[in-house]
Amino acid sequence: MTTTVEKKSFEATLSEIAAFVEKHIYPLEHTFLQDGFGAVLPQLKELRKKVKAKGLFVPQMSKDVGGMGLSNYEHGQVSEILARTPLGHYAFNCQAPDAGNMEVLHQYGTDLQQEHLLKPLIAGDIRSCFAMTEPEHAGSNPTIMSTVATKDGDDYIINGHKWFTTAFDGSSFTIVMAVTNPDAEVPHERASMIIVPSDAEGLVHVRRIKIVGEEGEDHHSHSEIKFVNCRVPQRNLLGVEGKGFAIAQQRLGPGRIHHCMRWIGICERSFDLMCERAATRELSPGVPLASRQTIQNWIAESRAEINASRLMVLEAAKKIDEEGSKAARQEISLIKFYVADVLMRVVDRSMQTHGALGITEDTLLSFWYRHERGARIYDGADEVHKSVVARQIMKGYGVKI
Ligand SMILES: Cc1cc2nc3c(=O)[nH]c(=O)nc-3n(C[C@H](O)[C@H](O)[C@H](O)COP(=O)(O)OP(=O)(O)OC[C@H]3O[C@@H](n4cnc5c(N)ncnc54)[C@H](O)[C@@H]3O)c2cc1C
The per-residue pLDDT for range 108-166, each reduced to its tens digit, is: 999 999 999 999 999 999 999 999 999 999 999 999 999 999 999 999 999 999 999 99
Distance from the CA of 222 to the center of ligand 1, in angstroms?
A: 14
Minimum-distance ligand 1 atom for the alpha carbon of 138: 29
Ligand 1 lined by 166 (C-beta under 6 Å): yes
State residue 6's pLDDT score: 63
> Which residue's alpha carbon is nearest to atom 39 within ligand 1?
384
Q: Nearest CA to 195 among 229, 237, 155?
A: 237
Query: For ligand 1, what atom is nearest to the CA of residue 177?
Result: 11
Q: Is any atom of ligand 1 closer than 6 Å to the C-beta of 131?
A: yes
In this predicted structure, what is the pLDDT of residue 334? 97
Q: Please tell me the distance between residue 39's alpha carbon and the centre of ligand 1 in angstroms.
A: 30
CB distance 374 to ligand 1 below 6 Å:
yes
Beta-sheet pairing, 155-166 with 148-152: antiparallel
- By CB neighbour count within 10 A (0-12 exposed, 13-18 middle, 19+ buried), where does 328 fall? buried
392 C-alpha to center of ligand 1: Å?
22
Model's pTM, two decimal places?
A: 0.95
Say if residue 373 is exposed, middle or buried (CB neighbours under 10 Å; 0-12, 13-18, 19+): middle
Protein residue whose Cα sits closest to atom 13 of ligand 1: 164
Q: How far apart are CA 176 and CA 165, in angstroms?
A: 10
Give the chain's domains with CATH numbers: 4-123 (1.10.540.10), 128-238 (2.40.110.10), 246-395 (1.20.140.10)
Interatomic CA distance for residues 60 and 358, integer angstroms: 33
Q: What is the pLDDT of residue 389?
A: 97
- Mutation test residue for ligand 1: of 133, 166, 198, 391, the one with most atoms within 8 Å of CB: 133
Q: Is 378 in the pocket of ligand 1 (CB under 6 A)?
A: yes
Q: Report whether residue 255 contacts ligand 1, using a CB cutoff of 6 Å.
A: no
Confidence at residue 1, expressed as pLDDT on a 0 to 100 scale: 46
Is the distance from CB of 239 to CB of 54 less than 8 angstroms?
no
CA distance 396 to 173: 44
Task: Answer yes or no: is the C-beta of 161 below 6 A from any ligand 1 atom.
Answer: no
Residues of the chain with pLDDT under 70: 1-8
232, 155 Cβ separation under 8 angstroms: yes
- In whole angstroms, give the CA distance from residue 303 to residue 330: 24
